[in-house]
Structure 1
Amino acid sequence: MQSSSELFPVALMSAEFRGDLSEDVYRLKPSNSPDFSVELALTRLGMANHGEDRGVPVILIPGSFSNRRFWYSPKCIGLGPYLARAGFDVWIAEMRGHGLSPRNLDYRNNTVADYARYDLPAIAAFVREQTGQAPHWIGHSLGGITLAGALGGHYLREDDVASVALFGSQISRVYWPLKVPPVEWGARLLLKGVSVISGSRLKRGPEDEPIGLIRESLRWHGLFGRFGEGKKNDWWKGLAEVNVPVLAVGADGDLQDPAWGCRKLLEQFGSERRRFLCLGKKQGFSDDFGHVEMLVSKPAQEEVWPLTEHWLRHLSLPAALEPAAQTVPDVSSAQ
């Protein structure tokens, strides 16, 4: 790989203009995990006429069964292009084996722990090297959970994080059947011969997910499960030691990751600056947003994207929303 970094091999795969935007696609080979075949795609968006004059960096992490197109459509519509046009230096990461990131040799055993321990720190290091600034991070669904794991596990240093925004991300919803050990064991047995879960077949998204991710989730939600890497690293407990600005966004119409769970994840952070935002009619929004619609929809474009930009610029919400957003209870010790 041609190197444009002093950290590890990095290849510039393409450099194109997409209308008023510039798009550079990098492929990183950090070689920092047990599987040395891992390569990570990172797409950088900016204004075509700005040259090297870049703004504050923002890294976007998509959720499960998804890729960079969640943030950036082929027609250059999405939160990514919106933030780029607002003057931010936008980086869109794709986890190992997703989108433009090739499948690694041990793809079927990939886990959130791999993403959090190895991939996000490598991405943070490269973006900091290229920009000279600590980036803001935005994650949706599993992308937000991965960010929480990286922070709770102390894999991402606080000086690598200007702020974090978690959309539709929670770990507290209880799946009661999995609390019965024979049911969990049976689920593991059924999955033993499976390598991937098809997003297109389940109508969940364009990407597959490795079975390692599913096994990991079964462990988290089992009878004595905790959010983390077993007993050796309790991410949930570690979040209480994290002190970076955090915005958590839930939605009244989100049936997959309910708003109360998103709020509970926020409450576990030890951060002095925490804000919670619920997207629903009761809060004055035009609709009870859903899990995807909170970021990918016409109403999101008009109502949610500007709020996200405001958070990135001020680490607060507009004055009309601040009183409710500040009413986050003290950190709870229960997951």
Structure 2
Amino acid sequence: MTESLFVPVQGHRLHLRRQGPEAGQPVLMLHGAISNGRTFYSDSGKGLGPFLAEAGFCVYVADLRGRGLSEPRIGRDAGHGQLESIRDDIPALQAFIQGRHGGAKVHWLAHSWGGVLMASTLARFPALADGVESLTFFGSKRSIRSWSLERLLKVELVWKRLAPRWVAKHGYLPARAKKIGADDETAGSLAHSIAWVNKGPWVDPQDGFDYGKAAAGVDWPRTWLLAGKGDKTLGNPKDVALFQQEMKAQGELTLLGRSGGFRRNYDHLNMLVGEDAATELYPLVLAWLRR
């Protein structure tokens, strides 16, 4: 059984797709930039979300403000950025889920930029870590320091140069219409992510909060970062490792590639949606959550 739940936050309704037994341990899944919760599920029942639900977890897949089925949709008048996701939305989702489960600890899973947002939330509100059972981040990096042709095209050209021009014209980033992503982004989110993708300190571009400094005071939940050996830019293994160092989290880091015994050198997306991922990675995630 699946159902759509909505969490009200500051005039927005954040969508949560819930699946699995109500009595199961809760899992919160968060997508990355220019994306939505469908990173973790499909209408046909495929994806990591349905897999974990079938295994007995109560899975909540989130859509950030304006993305997926959250309301209202992103448009020209959308004034929020990534600070609202960090400061307001993720804590609200955590409180909502714990309220439904008697205060039980929640497993947090994220893809790409979603991991940066989740880690930033815990750095800003370290007390929240008491309610988090584990962190599992797929291809999450804060800054991109590695160089490749893919970086030149996707980051330097599209993200840093073309995307701001599209924002100036439309008032937001129409990523779906431009066919560069599964969902749109606000002007604020784009600007803030560009500031962090550039090599520099982990400091909030909007209010100056120093996440890097605050991270030292977090009692991090057990943490697992996964990086695809075939991911040259958006989650380059070296950048993922640097992000783990920034978090100051003594967790595990797994390189998903043939040299590690996997069937392929995974890239940024097929570590979650590929057929090989479903048969060889999903069971590893399940074992990690049950550990």
Same fold (TM over 0.5): yes
User: Mind listing any 5+ residue stretches in structure 2 that lack a counterpart?
Assistant: 153-159
Give the whole-Å Cα distance in 2 for the aligned partners of 1:66 and 1:190.
17
Give the whole-Å Cα distance in 1 for the aligned partners of 2:210 and 2:114.
19
Structure 1 or 2, whichever has the larger Rg, is 1
Q: 1:248 aligns with which of 221, 225, 232?
A: 225
Is 1:159 paired with 2:130?
Answer: yes
Residue aligning to 2:254: 277
Residue type of the partner of 2:24? G
> Aligned to 2:272, what secondary structure does the other structure show?
coil
Residue aligning to 2:87: 117
Give the whole-Å Cα distance in 1 for the aligned partners of 2:197 and 2:190.
11
Instruction: Summarize deviations over 1:191-215 as a string: whole Å, max 9, x none.
Output: 5444222223443332111121111
Q: 2:244 aligns with which of 250, 259, 266?
A: 266
Give the whole-Å Cα distance in 2 for the aligned partners of 1:143 and 1:216.
14
Q: 2:235 aligns with which of 257, 260, 263?
A: 257
Residue aligning to 1:298: 275
1:127-276 equivalences in 2 (<5 Å): 127-132=97-102, 133-154=104-125, 157-174=128-145, 191-221=167-197, 226-229=202-205, 232-243=208-219, 244-255=221-232, 256-272=234-250, 274-276=251-253
CA contact (8 A) 2:83 2:206 kept: no
1:302 and 1:188, CA in 2 relative to 1: closer, same or farther beyond 3 A? closer
Count of matched residue pairs: 276
Give the superposed CA RMSD. 2.6
Is 1:74 paired with 2:43?
Answer: yes
CA contact (8 A) 1:67 1:98 kept: yes
Flag the structure with more relative contact order, 1 or 2, with Cα contacts below 8 A and sequence separation at least 6.
2
Report which of the two has the higher share of helix.
Answer: 2
Give the whole-Å Cα distance in 1 for the aligned partners of 2:223 and 2:145.
24
Instruction: Summarize deviations over 1:112-154 as a string: whole Å, max 9, x none.
Output: 2110100010100010010121100000011111111111222
Give the whole-Å Cα distance in 2 for the aligned partners of 1:92 and 1:71.
7
Give the whole-Å Cα distance in 2 for the aligned partners of 1:187 and 1:276.
32
1:129 and 1:215, CA in 2 relative to 1: closer, same or farther beyond 3 A? same
TM-score of the superposition, structure 1-length normalised? 0.75
Give me the identity figure in percent.
30
Give the whole-Å Cα distance in 1 for the aligned partners of 2:79 and 2:145.
24
CA contact (8 A) 2:76 2:172 kept: no
1:107 and 1:118, CA in 2 relative to 1: closer, same or farther beyond 3 A? farther
CA contact (8 A) 1:38 1:103 kept: yes
Residue aligning to 2:155: none
Is 1:28 paired with 2:7?
Answer: yes
CA contact (8 A) 2:30 2:110 kept: yes
CA contact (8 A) 1:78 1:296 kept: yes
CA contact (8 A) 2:12 2:65 kept: yes
User: Mind listing any 5+ residue stretches in structure 1 that lack a counterpart?
Assistant: 1-21, 31-35, 178-183, 315-335
Following TM superposition, by how much is the alpha carbon of 1:185 offset from its aligned partner in structure 2, in angstroms?
A: 11
